Chain A
Amino acid sequence: MDTVLIGTRKGLFTLRGGEVARVSFLGAAVTAVLARDGVLYAAVGHGHFGAKLHRSRDRGETWEEVAAPKWPEKPAGVDDRSPMTGAAWPWSLDQIWTLEADPRAPDALWCGTIPGGLFHSADGGGSWRLLRSLWDLPERRQWFGGGYDFPGIHSVCVDPRDDARVLVGVSTGGVWVTEDGGESWTLRGQGLRAEYMPPERQFDPLAQDTHRIVRCAAAPDALWAQHHNGIFRSTDGGGSWSEIKAKPSSFGFAVAVHPRDPETAWFVPAIKDEFRVPVDAQLVVTRTRDSGKTFESLREGLPQKHAYDLIYRHGLDVDETGEMLAMGSTTGSLWVSERQGESWSVISHHLPPIYCVRIS
């Protein structure tokens, strides 16, 4: 079985052969993980002492702290406030929310943070550069919500055909695309719909709260989004989206797409907004194999009675074959499936709350 990295509220757990083989950073929050060419990265959040990034070149046996993304000095006199809340945007890292590798350049990494910064490293985390081209846009000040004190960037989707083409998802602040390696950005997302906004702004691309966006590796123009409002799919690289309804609910946080089949994707439904628990307290994974025309509810091996597990946006992953999935919940349950979600095996019900899982 592959190695699975599990970032939790209280440390990093490494799964091998279906068992927890190693615990790292015990006691500290691990908010994002990445494996690339045998190198592991773990974003560690020390409640008091800030967010850090660690790297391992020996499969997690030893770790070295490398540079964390850092904001440049805030220019004097800049009044950088949210027009919605009046709060001053901090020019300082709070949380590393997502780490992604450039599929074409081994040492190139992308990092999305809270507050909503996008950072790039060309040297495997040795140093980071804030994409001022995105941060300095006036629209950035209008980003809002997202469940934390400030909005953040949760998804970075690099086009494997051309790594100058990158799409990022902001919660809440729409879908942004660059086609020139980050020199310039365009707000995309036609068709995304925000029911939580006043009627005249429901289709405003800036008001769209995508929870997670994933891109199909073999068909990079195909993207899936789990949005606050439901499920959306794009077949043109994120320019336009169509809304898709699924039972038992279209609400959730996580989504995974089959790396070779853009029509196959997995979601974990929950009751919307003020509840955020599985429908009827039964945990299911929904899967479509026909671009969202139909969905199956997969429940074998998942708890069907009094289950209140919520799967966060980075809590579901699929491996590069599209066969194996891993899923971790807020109540510390971890499952894997070797059969595309048809059935699930529980690894533990007793881990700390799980933020992110990644199969390497």
Chain B
Amino acid sequence: MPRVTFTANLRRHVDCPPADVPGSTVGEALAAVFAHSPGLRGYIVDDQGALRRHVVVFVGGEAIRDRVRLTDAVASDAEIAVFQALSGG
């Protein structure tokens, strides 16, 4: 299963340990995390489900392309890392 990890800066505000979750896209993997931790959702995505403007998600070290619908594919052994974008905030 893909593994999702979160920046330490986010862990200051909300509990978000690394999670091994099912999913073949970034969106599916994050949805699985949010199902387990509903309070985490609003920190990562906006009210419409798009990635927050100042959050970035890397899959295997590459920033994802689809920040709106989160359709980037992930392999079963993918490392999905949620970071803050160095773009203000």
Binding site for B on A (CB under 8 A): 28, 46-50, 52, 65, 68, 70-71, 73-74, 90-93
Extra contacts, 20 of them, besides A74-B48, A92-B46 (Cβ < 8 A), are A28-B13, A46-B13, A46-B43, A47-B54, A47-B88, A48-B52, A48-B54, A49-B42, A49-B43, A49-B54, A49-B55, A52-B13, A65-B14, A68-B42, A70-B42, A71-B47, A71-B48, A73-B48, A90-B48, A92-B48
Q: Mark B1-45, 1 if CB is under 8 A from A, else 0.
A: 000000001100110000000000000000000000001001110
Q: Whole-angstrom distance between the alpha carbons of A91 and B68 in the complex?
A: 13
Residues of A within 8 Å of B54, CB to CB, are 47-49
Residues of A within 8 Å of B39, CB to CB, are 65
Between A and B, 24 residue pairs with Cβ closer than 8 Å are: A28-B13, A46-B89, A47-B54, A47-B88, A47-B89, A48-B10, A48-B54, A48-B55, A48-B85, A49-B10, A49-B42, A49-B43, A49-B52, A49-B55, A49-B84, A50-B46, A50-B52, A65-B14, A68-B42, A71-B48, A73-B48, A91-B47, A93-B46, A93-B47
Q: Whole-angstrom distance between the alpha carbons of A71 and B39 in the complex?
A: 16
- Interface size for B (C-beta < 8 A) is 19
Q: Whole-angstrom distance between the alpha carbons of A83 and B52 in the complex?
A: 25
Q: Whole-angstrom distance between the alpha carbons of A73 and B46 in the complex?
A: 11
CB distance from A261 to the nearest CB of B (A): 42
CB distance from A204 to the nearest CB of B (A): 31
CB distance from A238 to the nearest CB of B (A): 30
**Once the chains bind, are B46 and A90 in contact (CB under 8 Å)?**
yes
A-B contact count (CB 8 A): 49
CB distance from A260 to the nearest CB of B (A): 40
| Max count, chain B CB within 10 A of own CB: residue among A52, A90, A92 | A92
Residues of B within 8 Å of A47, CB to CB, are 54, 88-89
Q: Whole-angstrom distance between the alpha carbons of A3 and B88 in the complex?
A: 33
Residues of A within 8 Å of B89, CB to CB, are 46-48
Q: Whole-angstrom distance between the alpha carbons of A65 and B38 in the complex?
A: 12
Among B9, B44, B48, B85, point to the contact of A91 (Cβ < 8 A).
Answer: B48
**Once the chains bind, are B42 and A52 in contact (CB under 8 Å)?**
yes
Residues of A within 8 Å of B44, CB to CB, are 49
CB distance from B81 to the nearest CB of A (A): 14
Among B51-78, those with CB < 8 Å from A are 52, 54-55
Q: Whole-angstrom distance between the alpha carbons of A28 and B89 in the complex?
A: 10
Residues of B within 8 Å of A73, CB to CB, are 48
| Max count, chain A CB within 10 A of own CB: residue among B47, B55, B88 | B47
Residues of A within 8 Å of B50, CB to CB, are 92
Residues of B within 8 Å of A28, CB to CB, are 13
Q: Whole-angstrom distance between the alpha carbons of A47 and B47 in the complex?
A: 16
**Once the chains bind, are A50 and B84 in contact (CB under 8 Å)?**
no
Q: Which 9 A-B pairs have the closest CB atoms?
A: A47-B89, A92-B47, A48-B89, A92-B46, A48-B84, A48-B54, A71-B47, A49-B43, A70-B47
Closest B residue, CB atoms, query A71: B47
**Once the chains bind, are A50 and B13 in contact (CB under 8 Å)?**
no
CB distance from B1 to the nearest CB of A (A): 25
